[in-house]
Amino acid sequence: MLRPGSTVGFLGGGQLAQMLALRAASMGYKTAFLEPDPHAPAAQVSERVGFGFAEADLEALAARCDVITVEFENVPPEALAFLEARVPVRPAGELFRVSRHRALEKHALAALGLPTAPYRVLAPGDDVAGVLGAVGGRGILKTAELGYDGKGQRRVASEAELAAALAELNVPCVLEGYVDFVRELSIQVARNPSGELAFSGLVENLHAGGILRRSVYPAAASEETELAARQYARTLAEAWRLEGLLTLELFELEDGSLRVNEIAPRVHNSGHLTQDGGGASQFEMQLRAALDLPLADFAPQLPCVMVNILGWPEDQPEPAWEEIVRLPGARLHLYGKAHRPGRKLGHVNVVGKTRAEVLEGAARVEAVLG
């Protein structure tokens, strides 16, 4: 295991790297990161040693760090290979190659027997006759690469809409059949190089316009559903010999069965509630896994709701932060990012004794946020 005093490097300097770096510091580790934006959130708490994926930057990070981990999956494979030749990168490159590309991700899930929405891979100019019918008659066309927070997605309900959306996006895409889910869930698994596994609790997620608005622990799902989610997470972590933390986004259907939506080889917005729910946070767990420290399950000890703070419309005032910090059980987290409408700027975790109590608290937070 890497001892306190070692240095952890991050690819990316957004809020996830910021929160990883904060936890690393409190665990006795130094940190450094690569990021094009000098004012990125991680710059407040860690040292930016390079700009991006140029060799000189990668060299600087590798020279400084004992292990490298990530906050986002869109890392060019050549950059990962360059780093991996110099210093351990956890998780390893193969996981990124797959998880950054929706078609490869879907194929990989299918190969492991994990259920997904029906899907078809499409390229610009492809004949779309019959394709929408094959996935159930309505669906979502998603760019194969570089999508996040619902960006690069078009809902389609006819062949004409599909053809128009494909022409508009004009890059390789995956068409997914629309899943009529009763709820969205997520679960996380951490695995260290020694092969120990640990699971998060099952979290319930509410999205609007493709962007996460709220996460709730515990999820209102059955024990069988939770066990199935764990089993999927275990299958992925073991098949890929994960060294790090992985998040699975899931759809739960009426009959309680699950479909895997997507995977992220890192801490995730839906795991932020672990910061204040008692127990180890997802940030600590990704670090422990990368550092090869011992692992243990990390379900929160208290019911908890996370409410995202999105950038407010230009014609509205900044939310009344002082009202939020006054609410019982509410913990305000702000990332120090410049304001832009719709941008993720922070979140509020509400903790309490019961699920009903934290849901009520979350509604109060949402009322203040407007």
Residue 210 binds what, of Mg ion, ligand ADP, none (CB under 5 to 8 Å, by partner type)?
Answer: ligand ADP
| Nearest-10 Cα torsion for 259, 264, 265, 269 | -120
Nearer to ligand ADP, 178 or 321 (CB): 178
| Nearest-10 Cα torsion for 141, 146, 149, 151 | -50
**Segment contacting Mg ion (CB under 5 A): 44-52, 121-129, 243-251, 291-299?**
243-251
Q: Tell me how far, at minimum, the Cβ of 34 lies from ligand ADP, in Å.
A: 22
CB proximity list for 177: less than 8 A, separation 6 or greater: 117, 118, 119, 135, 136, 138, 139
315 marked as part of a ligand binding site? no
Q: Tell me how far, at minimum, the Cβ of 342 lies from ligand ADP, in Å.
A: 13
Nearer to ligand ADP, 15 or 192 (CB): 15
207 marked as part of a ligand binding site? yes
Residue 136 binds what, of ligand ADP, Mg ion, none (CB under 5 to 8 Å, by partner type)?
Answer: none
Nearest alpha-carbon partner for 185 in 300, 268, 279, 65: 268
Nearest alpha-carbon partner for 251 in 284, 212, 205, 294: 205
The number of beta carbons lying within 10 Å of the beta carbon of residue 96 is: 23
261 marked as part of a ligand binding site? yes
102 marked as part of a ligand binding site? yes
177 marked as part of a ligand binding site? yes
Q: Tell me how far, at minimum, the Cβ of 148 lies from ligand ADP, in Å.
A: 5
* Positions that interact with ligand ADP (CB under 6 A): 117, 140, 142, 147-150, 176, 178-179, 184, 207, 210, 249, 261-262
The number of beta carbons lying within 10 Å of the beta carbon of residue 129 is: 10
94 marked as part of a ligand binding site? no
Nearer to ligand ADP, 176 or 284 (CB): 176
- How far the first Cα of the chain sits from its last, in Å, is 46
Phi-psi region of 209 (alpha: psi -120 to 50; beta: other; left: phi over 0): left
Judged by the rule CB under 5 A, the positions of this chain that interact with Mg ion are: 249
Residues of each annotated binding site for ATP:
102, 142, 147-153, 176-179, 184, 207, 261-262
